[in-house]
Chains A and B, each alone.
Chain A
Amino acid sequence: EAGVTQFPSHSVIEKGQTVTLRCDPISGHDNLYWYRRVMGKEIKFLLHFVKESKQDESGMPNNRFLAERTGGTYSTLKVQPAELEDSGVYFCASSLEGRISPLHFGNGTRLTVT
């Protein structure tokens, strides 16, 4: 089966610009998660979709971040306007069932805001 894919793999933007990250989960996985790792820190939860609904968005840092999952398939994470502290690696993961199911991660998008 195809794994979780993320696009782009790298993005370099200037402060104040907008960036949109995309994640294609494993087909049939209703649960989709966004995580990020900022420099030197642990991977931190951003939000969780079940199909197209936001189950938990408690980890979203502020309203400059907007996640969508139209139709319950792929998801996008938009950062607008980007700030320097948004730099890091953004990971998407999917799972068949929530909770106990293992997470299948993509290889991440490395975002650099200059």
Chain B
Amino acid sequence: SQKIEQNSEALNIQEGKTATLTCNYTNYSPAYLQWYRQDPGRGPVFLLLIRENEKEKRKERLKVTFDTTLKQSLFHITASQPADSATYLCARDNYGQNFVFGPGTRLSVLP
């Protein structure tokens, strides 16, 4: 089955800096990748979707890239704020049937 790895369990950065989170996948390239945010005690909330033929996608302070050669997606938060502190999840389609989630990266933005 498909597998997703996220580079680190936790990431601490200073407020105002850019946070970069990594998602690596195995086997075939998914048709698209999705990124979600999860706060403690809540369900994941959808943020962005990027298709395999898109190199980059932006939404406000968020940017996602998709590199099928490296089998990797990068998720960037620019001008980070303490309110951005949360766990960020990467998800890929699994043969178009369902979604496989990575373990998540817990981001802490320090004031």
Enumerate chain A interface residues (CB-CB to B < 8 A): 4, 33, 35, 41-45, 48, 55-56, 58-59, 91, 93, 99-100, 102-108
- How many CB-defined contacts (below 8 Å) exist between A and B? 55
- CA of A59 to CA of B45, assembled, Å: 22
CB pair B98–A48 under 8 Å, yes or no, is: yes
5 contacts between A and B (CB under 8 A): A4-B43, A41-B103, A42-B103, A104-B46, A108-B43
List the B side residues contacting A58 at CB < 8 Å.
97-98
- CA of A91 to CA of B41, assembled, Å: 11
List the A side residues contacting B41 at CB < 8 Å.
107
Q: Select the stretch in B13-21, B59-67, B74-82, B88-96 that faces chain A.
A: B88-96
- CA of A4 to CA of B41, assembled, Å: 15
Which residue in chain B gives the minimum CB-CB distance to A110? B41
List the A side residues contacting B96 at CB < 8 Å.
99
Nearest CB in chain A: distance from B39 CB, A = 10
CB pair B103–A45 under 8 Å, yes or no, is: no
CB pair B49–A93 under 8 Å, yes or no, is: no
List the B side residues contacting A106 at CB < 8 Å.
43
CB pair B43–A91 under 8 Å, yes or no, is: yes
Identify which of residues 33-81 in chain B touch chain A, using a CB-to-CB cut-off of 8 Å: 34, 36, 41-46, 49
Contact with A along B89-111 (1 / 0, CB 8 A): 10101101111111110000000
Nearest CB in chain B: distance from A96 CB, A = 12
Nearest CB in chain B: distance from A89 CB, A = 9
CB pair B49–A103 under 8 Å, yes or no, is: no
CB pair B44–A56 under 8 Å, yes or no, is: no
Contact of B98 among A4, A59, A102 (CB under 8 A): A59
Which residue in chain B gives the minimum CB-CB distance to A47? B98
- CA of A113 to CA of B26, assembled, Å: 34
> Is B10 in the interface zone, CB < 8 Å from A?
no
